[in-house]
Structures are given as structure tokens and as C-alpha cells.
């Protein structure tokens, strides 16, 4: 679990503001859920035989003896909340959320125990048009973040529950022959949840999987049509993708469309956004049958991309714009009110008023370290004359003396 320190938060804020703006522009509404839910909710939605539920959840008993879990993902809680508050009643919804998720995994680059996701969930829309919109939306987000040329899209259809059942039998029949050569997790899953084996990272298992029957040969007509229409929509919108028939997602609730956005710039942890359709989940959790599709992106990985590829825009930093220094009692009083009026006149600019006294030299040092373009100097002379000295900290421009009521204009011209 990481601390995110003041020199890192500007990138986070840039990311969050961009996400907020893009989602808003598509008409998505934000929802905020608690970070803790009943353990049972995750078991029922994510699936008992998944990495998350088997080994990654932070689960504890509270004082009433209820089993609670720090959310490992947001979809289950979002469905729970939407149902509980009647948001899905005869209507479609486009929702999003962001916040910390918790998984007890082996920490490594791009994989943490507390990490941040942005999740998007759409309810009540059964067709491939909304699947396509989600992919367009993410593509636009990558563009806005400057990551457009560093991410690629893989899509697949994993069909209906029925189709997956038939496929499962064929897969098990094939894998049984190689049983002894599979990794131990996969051996166990052969009887509990064989489709999860397709997710295995073991090279030996992957080698065996290369000869396994393919899910797409088992797809039902409805899923096939949905997928082919989705591909047409993506083609006509100009979103590039590849079909990866080995792509299955690590959670039980997905069906039909699944997708991942992947980058090659982060090494092994290259999936930055993943999701798909989960038409059965709302009903499975006690609601009316409601088609749904969504995705989650890993904020740390996307931020790591911005940093690794040196794509953080120059204006994204924690720098001040103006730093006001003051020597003497009257100057200190003036510095505070000048600061107030400058913030009024220069919206969006960062105006730092020096506090804590000290010599002129030490105040100027702090002004420099603040990253400000300009220092304003207030001393006895300036106070007596009703002026302020304006000193550029990043250029050779000569220091100028201006009337205090002309300060804002002067600064607007400089900044």
C-alpha cells in the first residue's frame, strides 16, 4: 500500500480531472460506494473459484460477527448500490466511480495491495452499441491523456453461459490428457473452474493450452451476432483492435464481450483497463434481469505510463505562480490582503503568501523553491510608497516597482 506524496499528486490530479471531464462529456454519472461490503457479495458475484476470492481478499469479522471485506473491485458494490436504491428500475444508467480497491497480492511493479481503479458500469442496454461506446470513450480518454499511441485494444466474445458450459466440457476433455503436466492451480481448477485455466501464467500450462479447443468455435448464435456487430461498429468508428480468442477475464460474471487495453511500456503488468459484458449479474444478485457492461482501469499503471513515457504535460506540477514576501509588521499585514485580492483577480493561479518571517534572503530562497514565476517584495519602502516590487524569478527582466492597485494587471501581463 503506497503513500502518494505531494510531488506525485499533481499527476494524479491531472489524471482524475481528465477522467472526470471525459466521462462527464459522455453523460456518465458518478456514484460513490463504501469501501467495505458483506463478504458474501463478492463471493456470489466474482465467483468462489477465482484468484480474488480464493486468495486475495482482505476479510474480517466486525464487532457483530458479520464477515466483511475490503472491496477488491467495484462492480459488485455498484450493482448492490444501484439495486438497493432502485436506480435500475425500468431505466438505463451510465455510472462511474473511482476509489481504492484492496487485494492481497504479491506486491510488484504495477501490482499493489491497495490500488486505485476508475470503474464504469452501464445498465439496461443489451446491444453492442453501448459496448462500442465504452471502447470509444476509453480511446478518447487515452487521447486526452496523451497515451493514445501507447495502448492497444484486444477484444473477444466468451459467449453465453450455455456456450461456455459446452466449451468447458471440451476443454476439460482435452486438458485431462495433460493433467500431470499442468501447474497445481490449474490441476485443481480442472474440476472446480476449468475456464480459469485459460488465465494461467505458467509457461508449461500455456504451452499445453496452445493446442486446446478454442472458445469461439462454441459460441452461440446470439453472441456471435453481437460480436460481429460490435466489430462493425468499431470499424466504422475507426477504433483499432485485435481479436484475441484466448482472452477470458478472471471474474465469473462476464459473458459475451470482453476486452482489455494493453500497453507494452510497463513490462509484465501491461493491462491498464479491462472489462466486458455481465448480463447475468444483476439477476444473480437478486435484481430483475438487467443487461450490463463495464470496465475498470488501474490508475497506478496509467500514471506509471505517463511518467515512464515522460508524457506528463509541462503545466502539470505543484508550482506556485506568484510568491509574496514581506519584511516588517505592516508588510506582513499588506501581504495577506494583497494575496487575497490577487487570488480574486487571477483565478486558477497559485498565489503563495510567505508566512513564518525570516530574512529577505531566506524568503527569496523559498520563493525560488516554490517554482513561482514571480516574487512580490513588500518592505518598509514599498509600504510607505503604496507600491510593491515585482521580481521575475525565471527571466532576466529587471525588477519593477508598481502601485499596489496595479499589481494584478502587471502580473496578468507577465504570467
Is 341:376 a contact under the CB 8 Å cutoff?
no
Interface segment toward ligand ATP; rule CB under 6 A; list 105-113, 186-194, 327-335, 405-413: 105-113
112 binds ligand ATP per the rule CB under 6 A: yes
Sequence-separated (6 or more) residues with CB below 8 Å from residue 368: 393
253 binds ligand ATP per the rule CB under 6 A: no
Q: How far is the CB of 277 from ligand ATP (least distance, A)?
A: 14
Dihedral sign from CA coordinates of 301, 303, 304, 309: positive
DSSP, res 92: -
Q: How far is the CB of 225 from ligand ATP (least distance, A)?
A: 26
- Of residues 271, 192, 250, 188, the one with CA closest to residue 46: 250
Extract long-range pairs of 15-19: CB within 8 Å, 24+ residues apart.
Answer: 15/145, 15/299, 15/302, 15/303, 15/306, 16/98, 18/141, 18/144, 18/145, 19/98, 19/118, 19/141
Helices (H), 178-239: 184-192, 203-209, 221-237
Interface segment toward ligand ATP; rule CB under 6 A; list 12-20, 29-37, 88-96, 298-306: 298-306
115 binds ligand ATP per the rule CB under 6 A: yes
Provide the β-strand partners of residue 294.
121, 276
In the list 20, 104, 111, 140, the residue contacting ligand ATP (rule: CB under 6 A) is 111
In the list 10, 146, 246, 250, the residue contacting ligand ATP (rule: CB under 6 A) is 250
269 binds ligand ATP per the rule CB under 6 A: yes
Say how far apart CA 239 and CA 138 lie, in whole Å.
10
* Per-residue mark of binding to ligand ATP, 63-102 (x: CB under 6 A): ----------x-----------------------------
* CB of 101 or CB of 215, closer to ligand ATP: 101
* CB of 111 or CB of 229, closer to ligand ATP: 111
Say how far apart CA 270 and CA 308 lie, in whole Å.
13
Q: Which three cell numbers stand for residue 157?
A: 466474445
Is 160:256 a contact under the CB 8 Å cutoff?
yes
Is 304:271 a contact under the CB 8 Å cutoff?
no
202 binds ligand ATP per the rule CB under 6 A: no
Interface segment toward ligand ATP; rule CB under 6 A; list 158-166, 223-231, 292-300, 310-318: 292-300
> Nearest 5°: CA angle at 276, between 103 and 244?
100
Is 295:276 a contact under the CB 8 Å cutoff?
yes
Q: Are strands 387-392 and 322-326 parallel, antiparallel or unpaired?
A: unpaired
Q: How far is the CB of 115 from ligand ATP (least distance, A)?
A: 3
272 binds ligand ATP per the rule CB under 6 A: yes
Q: How far is the CB of 274 from ligand ATP (least distance, A)?
A: 4
In the list 98, 117, 138, 263, the residue contacting ligand ATP (rule: CB under 6 A) is 117
* CB of 138 or CB of 387, closer to ligand ATP: 138
Q: How far is the CB of 264 from ligand ATP (least distance, A)?
A: 14
Interface segment toward ligand ATP; rule CB under 6 A; list 103-111, 126-134, 181-189, 373-381: 103-111
Q: How far is the CB of 33 from ligand ATP (least distance, A)?
A: 16
Interface segment toward ligand ATP; rule CB under 6 A; list 78-86, 112-120, 161-169, 239-247: 112-120
> Nearest 5°: CA angle at 54, between 49 and 58?
140
Count interface residues toward ligand ATP (CB under 6 A): 19
> Nearest 5°: CA angle at 268, between 135 and 207?
95
* Per-residue mark of binding to ligand ATP, 299-338 (x: CB under 6 A): -xx-------------------------------------
Per CB under 6 A, residues contacting ligand ATP are 73, 103, 105, 110-112, 115, 117, 250, 269, 271-274, 296-298, 300-301
Amino acid at each position: 500500500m503506497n503513500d502518494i506524496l505531494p510531488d506525485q499528486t499533481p499527476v494524479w490530479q491531472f489524471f482524475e480531472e481528465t477522467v472526470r471531464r471525459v466521462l462527464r462529456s459522455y453523460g456518465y454519472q458518478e456514484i460513490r460506494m463504501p469501501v467495505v461490503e458483506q463478504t458474501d457479495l463478492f463471493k456470489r458475484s466474482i465467483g468462489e473459484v477465482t484468484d480474488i476470492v480464493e486468495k486475495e481478499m482482505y476479510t474480517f469479522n466486525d464487532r457483530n460477527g458479520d464477515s466483511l471485506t475490503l472491496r477488491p473491485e467495484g462492480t459488485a458494490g455498484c450493482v448492490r448500490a444501484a439495486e438497493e436504491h432502485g436506480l435500475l428500475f425500468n431505466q438505463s444508467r451510465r455510472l462511474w466511480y473511482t476509489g481504492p480497491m484492496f487485494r492481497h497480492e504479491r506486491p510488484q511493479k504495477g501490482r499493489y495491495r491497495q490500488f486505485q481503479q476508475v470503474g464504469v458500469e452501464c445498465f439496461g442496454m443489451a446491444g453492442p452499441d453501448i459496448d462500442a461506446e465504452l471502447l470509444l470513450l476509453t480511446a478518447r480518454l487515452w487521447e486526452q491523456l496523451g497515451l493514445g499511441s501507447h495502448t492497444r485494444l484486444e477484444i473477444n466474445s466468451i459467449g453465453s453461459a450455455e456456450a461456455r458450459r459446452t466449451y468447458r466440457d471440451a476443454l476439460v476433455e482435452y486438458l485431462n490428457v495433460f493433467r500431470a503436466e499442468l501447474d497445481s492451480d490449474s490441476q485443481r481448477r480442472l474440476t472446480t473452474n476449468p475456464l480459469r485455466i485459460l488465465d494461467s501464467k505458467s509457461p508449461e500450462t500455456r504451452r499445453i493450452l496452445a493446442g486446446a479447443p478454442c472458445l469461439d468455435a462454441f459460441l452461440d448464435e446470439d453472441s456471435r451476432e453481437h460480436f460481429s456487430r460490435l466489430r462493425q461498429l468499431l470499424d466504422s468508428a475507426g477504433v483499432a483492435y485485435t481479436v484475441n480468442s484466448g482472452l477470458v477475464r478472471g471474474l465469473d460474471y462476464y459473458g459475451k464481450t470482453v476486452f482489455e487495453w494493453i500497453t507494452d511500456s510497463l513490462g509484465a503488468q501491461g493491462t491498464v483497463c479491462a472489462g466486458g459484458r455481465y448480463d447475468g449479474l444483476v439477476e444473480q444478485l437478486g435484481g430483475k434481469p438487467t443487461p450490463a457492461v463495464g470496465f475498470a482501469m488501474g490508475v497506478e499503471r496509467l500514471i506509471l505510463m505517463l511518467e515512464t513515457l515522460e508524457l506528463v504535460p509541462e503545466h502539470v506540477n505543484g508550482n506556485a505562480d506568484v510568491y509574496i514576501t514581506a519584511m516588517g509588521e505592516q508588510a506582513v499585514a499588506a501581504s495577506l490582503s494583497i494575496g487575497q485580492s490577487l487570488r480574486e483577480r487571477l483565478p486558477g493561479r497559485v498565489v503563495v503568501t510567505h508566512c513564518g518571517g525570516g530574512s529577505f534572503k531566506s524568503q527569496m530562497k523559498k520563493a525560488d523553491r516554490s517554482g513561482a514565476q514571480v516574487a512580490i517584495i513588500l518592505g518598509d519602502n514599498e509600504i510607505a510608497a503604496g507600491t510593491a516590487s515585482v521580481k521575475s524569478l525565471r527571466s532576466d527582466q529587471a525588477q519593477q516597482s508598481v502601485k499596489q492597485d496595479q499589481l494584478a494587471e502587471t502580473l496578468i501581463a507577465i504570467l
